[in-house]
């Protein structure tokens, strides 16, 4: 009898222990890291006059491969030739994008680029016509017209969606950046390639944070504003009117 009583107590105690133990619920998923922001200013030493700031772009490339919901697919873009100008002067496109160059002037144009981003020569074409170029790799393409030396534009092809074009006060802000380590790059019109390389740096982006940055460029070397034609020769001087 006493033995049965002892067994009954043991079973009761074991059941009580099981009842008091917490029941393992479903594992809680870790919260996804929040996107961050990088903002800053390009310092030229003296403030350029309103509307005269050089075209500038700042962008990030991840140091290590990363997964992100933000894609940067190739698309179609347009640089119109009108009033002996390219409009807009600067565009940023994903690698693999197509850029159309319609001629909206009542005379011929000859669009070309001999720089590392994309080398091409569209030849002469008349008013109302358009030609396309695929920008198949990263880089800066300086666009000119072989007839009109005053015409210029820039196409910057990138594989990263994390970029910003500076505003009129040379401020920039890049939103929705996944946390991690990045290389910061900048392109500023008029600066030499060696000067642009000096601006490159690494930055650690923290989840949910807003990171400030300043790029000091007022002591860096600049390039002359003039350029050569597609044959590598100076443009011929237009004859002066006789009236």
Count CA within 13 A, CB hemisphere, residue 173. 9
- Among the listed residues 176, 211, 180, the one whose alpha carbon sits nearest the alpha carbon of residue 41: 211
Q: Is 195 exposed, middle or buried (0-12, 13-18, 19+ CB in 10 A)?
A: middle
What domains are there in the chain, each with its CATH number?
34-70+162-222 (2.60.40.1120), 73-159 (2.60.40.420)
What is the reported pTM? 0.81
State how far the Cα of 18 lies from the Cα of 79, in Å rounded to an integer.
74
Per-residue model confidence as pLDDT tens for the chain (243 residues): 444 444 343 434 333 333 334 445 444 555 566 789 999 999 988 766 565 689 999 999 999 877 666 789 999 999 999 999 999 999 999 999 999 999 999 999 999 998 878 999 999 999 999 999 999 999 999 999 999 999 999 999 999 999 999 998 999 999 999 999 999 999 999 999 999 999 999 999 999 888 899 999 988 888 877 899 999 999 987 655 443
- Among the listed residues 170, 169, 144, 176, the one whose alpha carbon sits nearest the alpha carbon of residue 60: 176
What confidence score (pLDDT) does residue 102 get? 98
What confidence score (pLDDT) does residue 238 get? 66
């Amino acid at each position: 009898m006493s033995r049965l009583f002892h067994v009954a107590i043991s079973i009761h105690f074991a059941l009580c222990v099981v009842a008091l133990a917490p029941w393992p619920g479903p594992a809680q998923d870790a919260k996804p890291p929040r996107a961050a922001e990088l903002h800053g200013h390009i310092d030229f030493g003296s403030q350029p006059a309103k509307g005269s700031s050089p075209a500038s772009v700042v962008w990030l490339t991840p140091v290590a491969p990363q997964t992100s919901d933000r894609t940067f697919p190739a698309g179609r873009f347009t640089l119109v030739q009108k009033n002996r100008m390219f409009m807009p002067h600067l565009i940023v496109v994903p690698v693999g994008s197509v850029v159309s160059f319609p001629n909206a002037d009542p005379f011929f144009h000859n669009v070309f680029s001999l720089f590392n981003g994309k080398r091409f020569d569209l030849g002469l074409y008349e008013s109302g016509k358009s030609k396309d170029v695929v920008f198949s790799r990263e880089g800066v393409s300086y666009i000119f017209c072989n007839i009109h030396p005053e015409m210029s534009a820039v196409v910057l092809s990138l594989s990263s969606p994390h970029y910003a074009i500076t505003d009129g006060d040379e401020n920039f802000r890049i939103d929705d950046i996944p946390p991690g380590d990045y290389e910061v790059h900048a392109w500023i019109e008029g600066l030499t390639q060696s000067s642009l390389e000096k601006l490159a740096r690494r930055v650690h982006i923290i989840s949910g944070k807003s990171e400030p940055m300043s790029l000091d460029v007022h002591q860096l070397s600049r390039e002359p504003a003039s350029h050569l034609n597609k044959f590598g020769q100076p443009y011929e001087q237009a004859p002066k009117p006789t009236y």
